Copies of this chain bind each other. A is one copy, B any other.
Amino acid sequence: MKNNKSLKIYNETNRKLTAYNTLIAATYFDKDTVAPKKGNRRRNEALSLMSGEVYSIETDKDYLDAIEDLRKQDRGFENDREIYLRCKALEDVLKFTKKETMAYTQAIMNSSDSWMKAREHKDYRYFEKDLHRLIEMTKERLKRIDDKRHPYDVLLDNYQEGMNREKYDAFFDRIREELIPLIREVSSRQQMVDDSFLHRYYPASKQREFAKILLKYLRFDPSWGYMGESEHPYTTSICEDDIRITTRYMEHDLSAAIFSIIHETGHAYYDHQVDRKYQNTMIKDAISMGVHESQSRFNENYIGKRRSFWVKLYPELVRIFPENLKDVSLDQFITAINKSCPSFIRTEADELTYPIHILIRYEIEKAIFDDSIDLKDLPKIWNQKYKEYLGLDVRNDYEGILQDIHWSQASFGYFPTYALGSAIGAQLIDKMEKEMDVDALLEKGKYALVQKWLKEKIQKYGALYTYDDLLKLATGKKFSPDHYIRYLKNKYRKLYKIR
């Protein structure tokens, strides 16, 4: 009986938390896509207050007692896992008061709005003060969360359990050593690939037309998914059967929206394809952001940049942009979307230079939380690193430090998961290709089978298994960056006829 009572309290409270999160997610999506700006002050107040309400529910004594009771019970693997995940999440929550929780939410919203304003005005100064404040607040919080670990280790672990600076250093050392020479080599052969036609004028209204076709091709079904437009592309889940993605259109970069859509759709499937029996639990969420990014980067690159993916799709693109593409063959198009060239914007970067964008952010974040840099110098440091690693002179903060939304949302320590996710993805595509003829399927338009495979191997489990176990289950092996390095080397050596 006692057992049942705890379980009842636990389940009822989780249902309530899910309801709150549904409304909160819908309100954020609305804010990011269509909401008039003048309402932000009142909306932010409301969202901050709601973070306090969620806090009260999560820290309710009966709920915590029920969890403690369930933790002691022997209720099998799934339930143990659920309680473990819940306790881990609550551990940090309980270190702060309701007031502090609300204040942090408010600070995040203020800095998000400032970032948006800075983007509008293409002027970092609108963002700087709130960013500094958010960094200082985050540092204070990290001390409270765990004053024994390095603060950046706490952040890294937060997005990818088990990761820390030591492991990421080793990972990025490989990236640096193996890829930088190749990037230099490829850079010197720029003229070999012509992608100028991707930078002709592609009106947003026409791109929207193609986006509809692309979403249909990706089986991103309007009955369970919707795409909006926002300043920075992202994915959010209102519930398992209502997944939202966003994109943005650049009128002189045809690839930008296309690959951001394919990327976000990868995230969307992960949220959508989790087993429905985990509704209202912690298990329903992705095991980690590294694995989440493995699904999106997988879709974007290991699938979306293949010739076979475009066999049926490219004619549609030509139909919508006849002036720009009628003289461009499928092969020319494929070569162009795979061109590698150092560039300013992470989300639009090619696969080979992409991890360098992440490496740069990783180094900067490490320095921020080491207290080894003066925050005033952030844009300068950003630009120095782009010069050092990619040989680029950043012309303004809009294409420099202002490009990503993450810091404005206090998502410090998130960036490394993009590179890690790309590497996990490479390990997955190796496995997938051993199990099925991916190109043959894609050429027949059977994209759905790709997502079915990912569902069975990864997505349906949610957070049931640890990252290590999940990867072993899916690929038979522990994580290794070798797949990723090998993939990039083979691909770009072949494309640029190196050696």
Residues of A bordering B, CB below 8 Å: 15-16, 18-20, 22-24, 26-27, 29-31, 34-39, 41-43, 45-47, 49-50, 53, 221-226, 228, 238-243, 279
B238 engages A49 (CB within 8 Å): no
Q: Find out whether the CB atom of B228 lies under 8 angstroms from the CB atom of A38.
A: no
Q: Do B36 and A22 touch across chains, with their CB atoms under 8 A apart?
A: no
- Report whether B226 and A35 are in contact in the complex, using a CB–CB cutoff of 8 Å: yes
| A26 close to B30 (CB less than 8 A) | yes
When chains A and B are docked, how far (Å) is the Cα of A446 from the Cα of B79?
66
Chain B residues near A16 (CB, 8 Å)? 49, 53
In the complex, chain B residues whose CB is within 8 Å of the CB of A27: 22-23, 26-27
Given A24-B23, A36-B222, check contact A15 B239 (CB 8 Å): no
Closest B residue to A27 by beta carbon equals: B26
In the bound assembly, the distance between CA atoms of A224 and B23 in angstroms comes to 21
Tell me whether A38 and B223 are in contact (CB under 8 A). Answer: yes
Q: Looking at the assembled complex, report how far the CB atom of A488 sits from the nearest CB atom of chain B, in whole angstroms.
A: 36
Question: Among the listed B36, B47, B224, B241, which residue makes an inter-chain contact with A241, where contact means beta carbons less than 8 Å apart?
Answer: B36
Known: A27-B23, A27-B26, A27-B27. A37 touches B238 (CB 8 A): no
B46 touches A242 (CB 8 A): no
Closest to A228 in B: B34
Interface class of chain A by DSSP: helix
Chain B hits for A31, CB < 8 A: 26
In chain B, what residue has the closest Cβ to A224? B38
Whether A36 lies near B223 (C-beta < 8 A) is yes
* Contact call B241/A19, Cβ cutoff below 8 A: no
How many angstroms from the CA of A24 to the CA of B228 in the assembled complex? 20
A312–chain B nearest beta-carbon distance, Å: 25
Residues of B within 8 A of A37 (CB): 223
Partner of A38, one of B36, B38, B41, B242: B242
* Cβ contacts under 8 Å, A20 to chain B: 46, 50
Picked from B18, B30, B41, B50, the residue with its CB within 8 Å of the CB of A29 is B30
Partner of A43, one of B223, B224, B242: B242
Residues of B within 8 A of A279 (CB): 42
CB-contact partner of A49 in B15, B43, B222, B241, under 8 A: B15
Measured CA separation A349–B38 after assembly (Å): 35
How distant is A44 from chain B, measured CB to nearest CB, in Å?
A: 10
By a CB distance below 8 angstroms, the chain B residues around A24 are 23
Whether the Cβ atoms of B18 and A46 lie closer than 8 Å is yes
A20 to B23, CA, bound (A): 9
| Residues on B with beta carbons closer than 8 Å to the beta carbon of A39 | 224, 238-239, 241-242
* A243 contact set on B, CB distance < 8 A: 36
Contact B226 A49 (CB under 8 A): no
Q: How far is the CB of A492 from chain B (nearest CB, A)?
A: 39
Name the residue on B nearest A243 (C-beta).
Answer: B36
A51 CB to nearest chain B CB (Å): 10
- In Å, the complex CA distance between A282 and B34 comes to 27
Sorted nearest first, the 6 A-B pairs with minimum C-beta distance are A39-B242, A19-B46, A38-B241, A22-B46, A42-B239, A19-B49
Chain B residues within 8 Å of A223, by CB: 36-38
